[in-house]
Amino acid sequence: MTFPIVVEPCDGQFAASLLGEPKVRVMGQTRSQALDALKTEIEHRVAIGELLSLEIDTIGVTDLAGKYQTDSTLRTICSEAYEKRDSDRS
């Protein structure tokens, strides 16, 4: 599981927090200590079921992202369009 976090200097120490959840914030003397403490805090909250990962279905054009990545016909069409574009520039 991956969580977005922020680490920033704060009063001579480092504060690490979970984005979107201001209550999940820890302090450390060093950046590394703050990261380790935040990892421990997040692991604890995941273990007790407080933080979960929720998968949602995409909607709209985002469903198309990567869908035709291996379509050779689309590759041919793209190549022809790029060749035409490049010839028009000359």
In a domain, 32, yes or no: yes
In a domain, 53, yes or no: no
Instruction: Looking at the structure, tell me whether residues 43 and 67 fall in a common domain.
Output: no
* Cα–Cα distance measured from residue 28 to residue 35, given in angstroms and rounded to the nearest whole number: 8
In a domain, 33, yes or no: yes
pLDDT in tens, the chain (90 residues): 889 999 999 999 999 999 999 899 999 999 999 999 999 999 999 999 999 888 887 777 777 777 777 888 888 888 999 999 999 887
Tokens of 19: 């984005």
Give residues with Cβ within 8 angstroms of 16, minimum separation 6. Answer: 5, 6, 7, 25, 26, 27, 28, 34, 35, 37, 38
The pLDDT assigned to 83 comes to 92
How many domains in the chain? 2
In a domain, 79, yes or no: yes
Per-residue exposure over 45-56, b if at least 16 CB sit within 10 Å of its own CB, e if not? beeeeebeeeee
41 beta partners: none
Instruction: Looking at the structure, tell me whether residues 70 and 43 fall in a common domain.
Output: no
In a domain, 57, yes or no: no
Question: Whole-structure pTM over 0.75, yes or no?
Answer: no
- Provide the domain limits for residue 82: 63-89
The pLDDT assigned to 54 comes to 85
The pLDDT assigned to 46 comes to 94
In a domain, 69, yes or no: yes
Residue at 4: amino acid letter: P
The pLDDT assigned to 72 comes to 84
